[in-house]
Structure 1
Amino acid sequence: MFKTARSRVQAWITAGAGTIAALLAAGLMGAFGALPAHPPPQLPSDAAIDAGRWRIKPVRSYVSHADIHGVPLKPGQKALVLEADMTNRTAESNKAYFAVFKPEGITLPDPMPMIALIRDSTLAPELHPGMTERLAYVWPLAGDAAVPPKLAFGVTAEIFKPRDNLYGTPGWYNPYRLGTVTLPLADMPATDTPGAGS
C-alpha cells in the first residue's frame, strides 16, 4: 500500500512538472510569436547577388509605352520592365528564372512576367551554365496604372540539396525570400523604348 501511495505521488509530481513545462513552453512561444517579423534585407542594386541557382545583377527598371523586346502589348497597356544580368550557376541549361523577381507595392494584372533575351528578343530562353545573359522581365500594366518613382523587387532564391528528402535526388529546392532590391523607375516614351516593335 505504501508503494502504491508513493507511486501515485510520483505520478502527480511528474504530471505537474510536465504541465508546468508545457505552460512555460507555450508562454515562450507566444512571446516569441508576438515579436515583430524582421523585414527582408535590402540587397545592393549595383552589385551581383548570389540567389541560389542564379547570380543576378539588376541593371535598370522602367515603364515602356510600346512593345518591348518582342513582348507585345495590348492597346491601352504599358509595361513594367526590369533588366537584369543573369548567370546560370548550375551544370545544366534551364529557364527556371520566372519567380526570381517580384515587383512589390504595385498592382499587376498577371504576376507572371514575360521574359525576353535582350540581345535577340528570344522569349523565355534557356540559359547555359556559366554564361551571363541580360534578360528583360516584362509585366503588362493598365495604361492608367499609377507607378512610383522607384520600385522594390522581391528576390527569391533556392537551396541546393545533394539529396532531396522526398525523391532522394539532387536539385534546387525550398524557395525563400532572399531580400529586396530597389531601383529608380524611369518612364520610357514609345519613341525611346529599346527593342520597340522588334
Structure 2
Amino acid sequence: MLENVGSRLKAWLVAGIGTAAAIAVAGVMGAFGARHEPLSVLAPAGRIETGQWLLRPLKAYTAEGESLYGVPLKPGAKALVLELEMTNRTAKSTKDYFDVLQADQATVDPTTKPFIVLMRDSTLSPELHPGMPERMAYIWQLPDGAAPPASLELTVIRKTYKPRDNLYGLPGWFNPAPIGTLKLPVGSGSDTADIQP
C-alpha cells in the first residue's frame, strides 16, 4: 500500500513538473510569437498589386469646400484627398475596395471611412469593371481645427483568391492581410503635381 502511495505521489510530481514546463514553454513561445516583422515600405511612385487590385498612387493633398467631387463636406471643412489609379484585376465588376487602404491613426480618425469617388464623373463608390484603369479619389474629412498633415501614411491590404471558401464552398477573395506601408507627401489643393514614376 505504501508503494502505491509512493507511485501516485511520484506520478503527480512528474505530471506537475511536466505541466509547469509546458506552461513555461508556451509562455516563452507566446512572447516571441507576439513579435511581428515590420511591414515593407512600398515605393510611392510604383504600382502595387493587392490581389484584386492594381494600384498606382498619384498624389495626396488637402482641400477646402462644401462639395469636393460631389462629396458633401461640412461648410468650411478641410479634407485630405488621395488620388490614385485603380485597376480591377478580377473577372467581375466590383467595388470591394473600401479596405484596401487604411490611413494611419495619426493622420485621420480610424473610425472615419473615406468617401471614394470616380473622378471622371464624381460617382460615389462605383463598381469598377475588369481591366479598365480608373482614376479614383479617397476623401477623408479632417476633424474641426485639425492641422493638415505633412504626409499621408497608409497600410495597403491584400486579399487572397480561393476557388472554394470553407463555409459556403463558393469562390471569393479572403484573408485580408497588410502587405506594406505607403507614405505620400501632402500638398495643398488639387493643383499638386502627380508623383512621377
Q: Same fold (TM over 0.5)?
A: yes
1:44 alignment partner in structure 2:
43
**Within-5 A mapping of 1:74-89:** 74-89=74-89
The ranges of structure 1 where at least 4 consecutive aligned residues each deviate by more than 4 angstroms after the TM superposition are: 7-14
Aligned ranges 1:12-23 → 2 under 5 Å:
15=15, 18-19=18-19, 22-23=22-23
Equivalents in 2 of 1:173, 1:119: separation in Å?
Answer: 30
Check if 1:124 corresponds to 2:125.
Answer: yes
Q: Shift of the alpha carbon at 1:45?
A: 0.9
Residue 27 of structure 1 and its aligned partner are, at CA, apart by 4.2
Counterparts of 2:20 and 2:135, CA distance in 1: 59
Residue matched to 1:154? 155
| Counterpart in the other structure of 1:57 | 56
SS at match of 2:71: coil
- Retained in 1: the 8 A contact 2:64–2:76? no
Distance 1:28 1:110, change over 3 A: closer
Provide the C-alpha distance between the structure 2 equivalents of 1:143 and 1:166, rounded to a whole number of angstroms. Answer: 44
Structure 1 residues 109 and 162: CA distance shift in structure 2, 3 A: closer
Counterpart residue number, 1:184 = 185
Give, in angstroms, the shift of residue 110 of structure 1.
5.3
- Structure 1 unaligned segments of length 5 or more: list them: 194-198
**Does the 8 Å contact 2:103/2:110 carry over to 1?**
no
The whole-number CA distance in structure 1 between the counterparts of 2:110 and 2:34 is: 34
Q: Is the 8 A contact 1:162 1:169 kept in 2?
A: yes
Say what the alpha-carbon RMSD is for the aligned residues: 2.8
Unpaired runs of at least 5, structure 2: 193-197
- The one-letter amino acid of 2:75's match is P
Q: Which amino acid aligns with 2:83?
A: E
SS in 2 for 1:169: coil
The 1-side partners of 2:147 and 2:130 are apart by 38
Are 1:109 and 1:141, in contact at CA under 8 Å, matched by a contact in 2? Answer: no
Distance in 1, Cα, partners of 2:90 & 2:181: 23
Percent of residue pairs bearing the same amino acid type: 51
Flag the 1:142–1:11 CA change in 2: closer, same or farther, 3 A. closer
CA distance in 1, matches of 2:143, 2:44: 27
- CA 34–159 in structure 1, closer or farther in 2 if over 3 Å, else same: closer
| Matched residue SS, 1:142 | coil
